[in-house]
């Protein structure tokens, strides 16, 4: 396991493919060997574009019925479905590979989504500083420490700890934290006051974790993706500003193929104005 992690650390990130520009990308994931890209479209149909993982050819599109907005997307190979956060309905939509949709209520505005080893959905709720765990219904709520302001995305490791990124516009502290399973105590962190240095972030808004629990962080306003060790020590920059056209807003790691998918979106004043998907070898 350590040999794989060392190899990963030494590999330079190289852009191998860029999918076409279009509407802003709100999520990216893999399911059943295909790439799922979530875009908000005014016609409110065909929001999920499904691409071949090898040729990057568009295969087909799926519609999320009755969606009013998006925050993130994740997938579950066990249940063969994708989950999509909706901040206006305050719910998570579930869409299977055949396009059949259901949804469950979150009762708070969702931000980042992930799936844990128990195949349950973790929903990060920034305004109430909670991580909510769902199966077919709410299983647990984890209240985060008071110093974790505006948590945006959380991933649960195999050992049960949460890796959380937090800090939005207007917040002084922007960082990545590792929090024990009860949600109350921070055991490791990286970052602090908002900034551009190697130990700082500006709007760290999405994460990916590999099989060895190394952490990829989308440092949005600094226009870079960074790699941290399993104890959140800085390793290197994986994606640099000159490899992006705009800002990285969502991540997905395909550890098997050693591909990092970064949603690269344009930000204008107070909203996203377009985006593309950048595929990077790691």
In a domain, 258, yes or no: yes
Domain that holds residue 41: 22-281
Distance from C-alpha of 116 to C-alpha of 122, rounded to nearest angstrom: 7
Cα separation, 208 vs 176, in Å, equals 12
What own/partner pairs with CB < 8 Å and gap ≥ 24 does 259-262 have? 259/16, 260/13, 260/208, 260/216, 260/225, 261/28, 261/30, 261/35, 262/28, 262/218, 262/225
Calpha distance 6→1 (Å, rounded): 9
- Quick one: DSSP state of residue 77? T
CATH number, domain with residue 75: 2.120.10.30
Residue by residue, pLDDT tens for the chain (282 residues) are: 333 444 444 456 899 999 999 999 999 999 999 999 999 987 888 999 999 999 999 999 999 999 999 999 999 999 999 999 999 999 999 999 988 999 999 999 999 999 999 999 999 999 999 999 999 899 999 999 999 999 999 999 998 999 999 998 889 999 999 999 877 899 999 999 999 998 999 999 999 999 999 999 999 999 999 999 999 999 999 999 999 999 999 999 999 999 999 999 998 877 788 999 999 999
Q: What is the reported pLDDT for 5?
A: 41
- Residue 151 is assigned to a structural domain of this protein: yes
The answer as to whether 1 is a domain residue is no
Q: What is the pTM of this model?
A: 0.93
Cβ atoms of 183 and 162 within 8 Å: the answer is: yes
Return the pLDDT at 257.
93
pLDDT at 271: 77
Q: In the chain, what is the straight-line distance between the N-terminal and C-terminal CA atoms, in Å?
A: 16
Query: How many domains are there within the chain?
Result: 1
Residue count of the chain, please give it: 282
**Is residue 15, in this structure, part of any structural domain at all?**
no
Residue 105 to residue 134: CA distance in whole angstroms: 10
Residue 182 belongs to some domain of the structure: yes
Q: Which of 250, 246, 218 is nearest to 36 (CA)?
A: 250
> For position 129, what pLDDT does the model report?
96
In a domain, 240, yes or no: yes
> What was the pLDDT predicted at 11?
55
Where helices occur in the chain by DSSP H, the ranges are 2-10
Kindly state the tokens that stand for 52.
Answer: 């071949």
pLDDT digit string, tens, across residues 181-210 = 877 899 999 999 999 998 999 999 999 999
Instruction: Tell me whether residue 189 is in a domain.
Output: yes
pLDDT of residue 12: 61
Say if 14 falls within a structural domain: no
pLDDT in tens, 166-179: 998 889 999 999 99
Judge whether 133 and 122 are in contact, CB under 8 Å.
yes
- What integer pLDDT is reported at residue 8 of this predicted model? 44
């Amino acid at each position: 396991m350590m040999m794989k992690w060392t190899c990963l650390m030494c590999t330079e990130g190289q852009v191998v493919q860029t999918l076409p520009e279009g509407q802003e990308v709100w999520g990216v994931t893999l399911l059943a060997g295909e790439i799922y890209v979530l875009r908000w479209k005014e016609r409110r149909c065909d929001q999920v574009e499904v691409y071949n993982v090898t040729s990057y050819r568009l295969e087909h599109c799926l519609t999320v019925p009755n969606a009013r907005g998006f925050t993130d997307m994740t997938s579950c190979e066990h249940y063969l479905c994708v989950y999509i956060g909706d901040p206006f309905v305050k719910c998570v939509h579930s869409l299977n590979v055949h396009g059949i949709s259901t949804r469950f209520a979150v009762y708070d505005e969702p931000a980042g989504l992930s799936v844990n080893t128990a195949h349950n959905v973790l929903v990060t709720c920034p305004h109430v500083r909670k991580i909510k765990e769902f199966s077919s219904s709410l299983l647990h709520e984890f209240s985060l420490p008071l110093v974790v302001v505006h948590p945006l995305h959380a991933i649960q490791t195999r050992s049960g700890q949460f890796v959380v990124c937090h800090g939005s516009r207007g917040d002084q502290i922007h960082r990545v934290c590792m929090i024990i399973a009860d949600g109350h105590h921070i055991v490791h962190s990286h970052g602090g006051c908002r900034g551009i240095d190697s130990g700082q972030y500006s709007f760290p808004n999405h994460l990916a974790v590999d099989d060895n629990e190394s952490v990829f962080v989308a440092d949005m306003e600094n226009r870079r993706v960074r790699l941290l060790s399993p104890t959140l020590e800085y390793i290197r920059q994986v994606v640099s500003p000159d490899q992006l056209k705009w800002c990285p807003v969502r991540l997905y790691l395909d550890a098997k193929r050693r591909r990092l998918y970064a949603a690269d979106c344009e930000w204008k004043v107070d909203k996203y104005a377009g985006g593309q998907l950048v595929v990077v070898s790691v």
